[in-house]
């Protein structure tokens, strides 16, 4: 039995693991990827020689954090394992069980006295005509393929969205010799550009977004067309994208003016991020809707404890705020967990950790405000024929028809039960936001009022035969703490 199980080996999980180990806790870290770093610090596989890891500007600390984490023999790593659910051990009230699954080894159970959910975030899915065509990909997906898997699109690329990550991906593509036809931004560019410059004045500022300003200038100098107040309204093609439709929008992201088509073999979409909260939902944690911070986020106290005893949260599921905030929250959450478990934690350590969290929050709050996606406007991009649930093939028309026939439905879970949106393998991760937008529009109510999809074990589907092994404890490694695939 571990003192602490951490789900996620990104900046929050790594910082938490090291802090907890420093305070004498026995720690296990579970991550689906093969190596530590999370999505923001995704690295090439170890078998790729000569592919050195270089973190994004402003995150120079990442290299040292990863190195410390990987060199630390106190922390047990379970890489390549997915956490699929949290169970309470009735016989032992102070014990939590994490069900884990591996693509070749099946299912097992890891027990710990405390749990830290540091599951990160993923690209905000936005449904528009053609978004299911091959060649349409999330910005984070393209970024990790290029930087960690060393492959690049072989044709011309259009990028569209509203988040600065889009500029970093465009720059990465240009740097890899990929022809970038156009970058379409829903916002007007001067406002974010001015904000990026102003961020230099934020005390203890991070340079990531200042770097984004530099990248924007570089893209423009290289002749990349950057179009403000423009959204992608359709992708076209038979078996693969061949062109995309871009449309000018007003300040509220409402279409104005004639749409135009641009030839492209790839469309990269990046409107922001969704906090990955399915494990917290399944565990029974309270959530709150906070649009600028990633939609539904896990409610927590000032020391990152959730509403479920023994379960804490850090990083993006606590509110999407970037890698600095994640690292700071991971450290603070671990101190609180160590103190809860009776380890001595000096008050000065708490003060310092709380200061780091506050410092990161000052910056991220500005960023969240400027780059908040207009969910109502994005919800309008799906036409009646547009597939909004990719897994179960539910169109917007299906949902609208149901809502018209059932005028008292005001909850996304009711839509899920009746229309099957969110019942496929992705379990709602790629349609919840659109369903919420469609429901909100139909009922003329705020998006957060429609609630959220509930999550059940397994939060990521596994072969049904694997579930029989749910009560099998995963052997705890002894001499070799690393368990990479």
Q: Tell me: does residue 99 bind another protein (CB under 8 A).
A: no
- C-alpha–C-alpha distance, residues 203 and 310, integer Å: 34
Residue of 198, 393, 406, 417 that binds another protein (CB under 8 A): 393
The residue range among 69-77, 195-203, 218-226, 419-427 that interacts with another protein, by the rule CB under 8 A, is 419-427
Rounded-to-integer distance, Cα 355 and Cα 348, Å: 10
The smaller minimum CB distance to another protein, of residues 141 and 481, is found at 141
Q: Which of 144, 214, 410, 418 binds another protein (CB under 8 A)?
A: 144
Work out whether 373 is an interface residue with another protein (CB under 8 A). Answer: no
Cis peptide before 316 (omega within 30 of 0): no
DSSP 3-state assignment of 70? Answer: helix
Contact 100, 326 (CB under 8 A): no
Q: For the range 199-203, what are the long-range contacts, defined as Cβ-Cβ under 8 Å and sequence gap of 24 or more?
A: 199/363, 199/366, 199/367, 202/362, 202/363, 202/366, 203/359, 203/362
483 binds another protein (CB under 8 A): no
Q: Closer to another protein at the Cβ: 135 or 319?
A: 135
* Between 215 and 269, CB nearer to another protein: 269
Q: Angle at the Cα of 97 (from 94 to 103), degrees rounded to 5?
A: 165
Give whichever of 393 and 406 is closer to another protein, judged by the CB atom: 393
Shortest gap between Cβ of 244 and another protein (angstroms)? 15
Q: Does 397 bind another protein (CB under 8 A)?
A: no
301 burial (CB, 10 Å; 0-12 / 13-18 / 19+) is exposed
Which of 259, 397, 448, 461 is the binder for another protein (CB under 8 A)? 461
Q: What single DSSP character describes residue 244?
A: E
Position 467 contacts another protein (CB under 8 A): no
Question: Looking at 148-156, 292-300, 407-415, 439-447, which segment touches another protein (CB under 8 A)?
Answer: 148-156
Q: Which C-beta is closer to another protein: that of 48 or that of 89?
A: 48
Chain centroid to Cα 313, Å, comes to 14
Query: CA 248, CA 185: separation in Å to the nearest integer?
Result: 10
* Segment lying near another protein (by CB under 8 A), choices 10-18, 206-214, 458-466, 467-475: 458-466
Residue carrying structure tokens 């300003």: 213
C-beta of 144 vs 383, nearer to another protein: 144
Near another protein by CB under 8 A: residue from 276, 326, 421, 434? 276
Stretch that binds another protein, among 32-40, 209-217, 248-256, 319-327 (CB under 8 A): 32-40
In the chain, the largest separation of any two C-alpha atoms, in whole Å, equals: 66
The torsion of the CA quartet 369, 322, 430, 426, rounded to 10 degrees, works out to -160
Nearest to another protein of 52, 302 (CB atom):
52
By CB under 8 A, residue 181 contacts another protein:
no
Residue 456 touching another protein (CB under 8 A): no
* 341 versus 484: smaller Cβ distance to another protein: 484
Task: Kindly tell me which residue out of 53, 57, 72, 141 binds another protein, with binding defined by CB under 8 A.
Answer: 141
Distance CA 254, CA 65 (A): 43
The verdict on 34 binding another protein (CB under 8 A) reads: yes
In sequence order, the 6+-apart residues with CB closer than 8 A to the CB of 88 are: 95, 96, 97
- Please list every residue from 218 through 247 that binds another protein, using CB under 8 A: 239-240
The residue within the footprint of another protein, chosen from 64, 89, 94, 151 (CB under 8 A), is 151
The answer to whether 41 and 10 have CB atoms below 8 angstroms apart is yes
DSSP structure class, residue 187: S
Angle between helix 208-221 and helix 165-175 axes, rounded to 10 deg? 50
Question: By C-beta, is 135 or 450 nearer to another protein?
Answer: 135
Q: Say how far apart CA 57 and CA 201 lie, in whole Å.
A: 17
Stretch that binds another protein, among 38-46, 322-330, 339-347, 361-369 (CB under 8 A): 38-46
Instruction: Give how many residues touch another protein by CB under 8 A.
Output: 59
x/- mask, another protein, residues 422-441, rule CB under 8 A, reads --xxx--xx-----------
Q: Give the 3-state secondary structure of residue 444.
A: coil
Region of 444 (left: φ > 0; alpha: ψ -120 to 50; beta: rest) is left
Tell me how crowded residue 401 is: count the other CB atoms within 10 A of its CB. 13
Residues that bind another protein (CB under 8 A): 32-34, 39, 44-51, 80, 82, 103-104, 122-123, 125, 132-138, 140-142, 144-146, 149-155, 176-177, 239-240, 265-266, 276, 390-391, 393, 424-426, 429-430, 460-463, 485
């Amino acid at each position: 039995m571990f003192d602490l199980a951490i789900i996620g080996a990104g900046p929050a999980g790594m910082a938490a693991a090291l802090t907890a180990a420093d305070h004498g806790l026995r720690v296990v870290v579970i991550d689906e990827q093969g190596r530590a770093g999370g999505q923001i610090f995704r690295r090439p596989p170890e078998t790729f020689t000569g592919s050195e890891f270089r973190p994004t500007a402003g995150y120079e600390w990442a290299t040292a954090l990863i190195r410390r984490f990987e060199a630390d023999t106190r922390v047990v790593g379970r890489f390549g394992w997915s956490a699929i659910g949290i169970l309470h051990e009735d016989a032992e009230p102070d014990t939590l069980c994490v069900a884990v699954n591996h693509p070749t080894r099946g299912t097992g159970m890891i027990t710990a006295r405390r749990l830290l959910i540091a599951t990160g975030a993923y690209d905000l899915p936005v449904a528009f005509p053609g978004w299911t065509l091959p060649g349409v990909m999330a910005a984070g997906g393209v970024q990790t393929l290029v930087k960690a898997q060393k492959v690049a699109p072989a044709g011309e690329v259009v990028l569209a969205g509203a988040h600065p990550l889009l500029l970093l991906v465009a720059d990465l593509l240009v740097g890899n010799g990929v022809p970038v036809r156009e970058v379409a931004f829903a916002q007007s560019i001067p406002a974010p550009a001015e904000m990026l410059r102003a961020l230099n004045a934020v005390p203890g500022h991070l340079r990531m977004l200042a770097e984004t300003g530099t990248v924007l200038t570089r893209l423009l100098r290289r002749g990349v067309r950057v179009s403000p107040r423009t959204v992608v309204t359709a992708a076209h093609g038979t078996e693969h994208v061949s062109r995309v439709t871009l449309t000018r929008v007003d300040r509220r992201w409402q279409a104005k003016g004639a749409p135009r088509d641009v030839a492209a073999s790839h469309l990269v979409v990046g409107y922001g991020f969704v906090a990955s909260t399915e494990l917290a939902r399944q565990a029974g944690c309270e959530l709150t809707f906070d649009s600028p911070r990633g939609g539904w986020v896990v409610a927590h106290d000032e020391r990152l404890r959730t509403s479920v005893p023994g379960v804490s949260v850090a990083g993006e599921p606590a509110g999407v705020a970037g890698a600095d905030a994640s690292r700071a929250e991971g450290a603070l959450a671990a101190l609180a967990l160590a103190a809860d478990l009776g380890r001595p934690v000096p008050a000065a350590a708490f003060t310092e950790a709380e200061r780091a969290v506050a410092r990161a929050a000052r910056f991220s709050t500005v960023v969240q405000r400027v780059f908040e996606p207009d969910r109502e406007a994005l919800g309008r991009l799906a036409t009646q024929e547009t597939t909004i649930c990719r897994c179960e093939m539910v169109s917007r028309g299906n949902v609208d028809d149901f809502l018209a026939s059932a005028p008292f439905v005001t909850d996304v879970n009711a839509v899920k039960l009746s229309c099957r949106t969110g019942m496929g393998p992705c379990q709602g991760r790629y349609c919840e936001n659109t369903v919420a937008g469609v429901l909100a529009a139909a009922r003329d109510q705020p998006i957060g009022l429609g609630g959220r999809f509930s999550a059940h074990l397994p939060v990521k589907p596994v072969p049904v035969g694997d579930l029989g092994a749910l009560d099998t404890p995963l052997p705890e490694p002894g001499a070799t703490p690393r368990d990479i695939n």
